[in-house]
Structure 1
Amino acid sequence: MNRRAWFLFLLVAVLWGIPYFLIKLAIEDLSPVFVVAGRGLIAALVLLPVAAVRGTLGALRARIGVVSVLAAVHIIGPFLLITYGEVHITSSLTGLLIAVEPVVIALLMSGTEPLTRGRTLGLVLGFAGVAVLVGLDVSGDRLGLLGAGMVLLAAISYAVATMLVQRRAADVPPEALAGGTTAITAIVLAPFAILTWPSEPVHASAWTALALLGVLCTAVALLAFYRLIALAGSNRAGLVTYLNPVVAVFLGVLFLNEPLRWSTVAGFALVVAGCWLSTRPAATYQNDAPSEREAARLAG
Structure 2
Amino acid sequence: MTRRGWLLFGTLSLFWGVPYLLIRIAVAEFDPVVVAFGRTAIGGLVLLPFALRARALRPLLSHWRWLLIYTGVEIVAPWVLLGHVETRLNSSTTGLLVAMVPIVAAIILTVTGHDRLGARRVTGLVIGFIGVALLVGLDIQVGDLIAILQILVVVIGYAIGPIIIAQKLHTLPAIGVITASLILASVVYAPFAFVLRPSTATPAAIGSVAVLAVVCTAAAFMVMFALIAESGPARMTLITYVNPAVAITLGALVLDEPITTGLLIGFPLIILGSILGTWRSAPPPSSSVATGPASAAVLDSDR
Q: Deviation per CA, 1:217-256, whole angstroms, max 9, x where unpaired?
A: 1112223224323433333211101110111011111111
Q: How many residues align?
A: 292
Q: Quote the offset at 1:293 in angstroms.
A: 8.7
Q: Quick check: 82-91 or 235-244, which moved more?
A: 235-244
Secondary structure at the aligned position of 1:88 is classed as: coil
CA distance in 2, matches of 1:34, 1:117: 44
- Indicate which of 124, 140, 145 corresponds to 2:126: 124
Q: Which residue of 2 aligns with 1:136?
A: 138
What does residue range 42-121 of structure 1 map to in structure 2 within 5 Å? 42-110=42-110, 111-121=113-123
Whether contact under 8 Å (1:230, 1:294) holds in the other structure is no
Gaps of 5+ in 1: none
Q: Indicate the RMSD between aligned Cα atoms, in angstroms.
A: 2.2
Give the SS at the match of 2:115: coil
1:52: Cα distance to partner?
Answer: 0.7
Rounded Cα–Cα distance in structure 2 between residues aligned with 1:291 and 1:102: 16
CA contact (8 A) 1:123 1:274 kept: yes
Residue matched to 1:277: 276
For the residue of structure 2 that corresponds to 1:16, the secondary structure is helix
**Equivalents in 2 of 1:277, 1:151: separation in Å?**
22
**Residues 89-117 of structure 1: CA distance to partner in whole angstroms, max 9, x if unpaired?**
00000000000111111111123222100
Could you tell me whether the CA contact under 8 Å between 1:88 and 1:146 is conserved in 2?
A: no
Q: Secondary structure at the match of 2:264?
A: helix
Is 2:145 the counterpart of 1:145?
yes
CA contact (8 A) 1:25 1:205 kept: yes
List aligned pairs for 1:204-219, cutoff 5 A.
204-219=203-218
Determine if contact 1:99/1:241 at 8 Å carries over to the other structure. Answer: yes
Question: 1:261 aligned to 2:260?
Answer: yes
2-side partners of 1:189 and 1:69: how far apart?
Answer: 15
Q: 1:40 to 1:172 in 2, by over 3 A?
A: same
How far apart are the structure 1 equivalents of 2:90 and 2:76? 21
Q: What percent of counterpart residues are identical?
A: 36
- After TM superposition, give the deviation of residue 143 of structure 1 in Å: 3.2
Tell me which residue corresponds to 1:34.
34
- How many angstroms apart in 2 are the aligned matches of 1:124 and 1:237? 24
Shift of 1:285: 5.5
- By how many angstroms is 1:188 displaced? 0.7
Q: Is the 8 A contact 1:33 1:80 kept in 2?
A: yes
CA distance in 2, matches of 1:257, 1:148: 22
Q: Return structure 1 stretches of 4+ with deviation > 4 angstroms.
A: 290-295
CA contact (8 A) 2:44 2:182 kept: yes
Deviations 1:115-151 (A, max 9, x none): 100010011111111111111111xx23322212212
* Number of the residue aligned with 1:242: 241
Code of the residue aligned with 1:182 in structure 2: it is: L
Q: Which runs of 5+ in 2 are unaligned?
A: 298-303
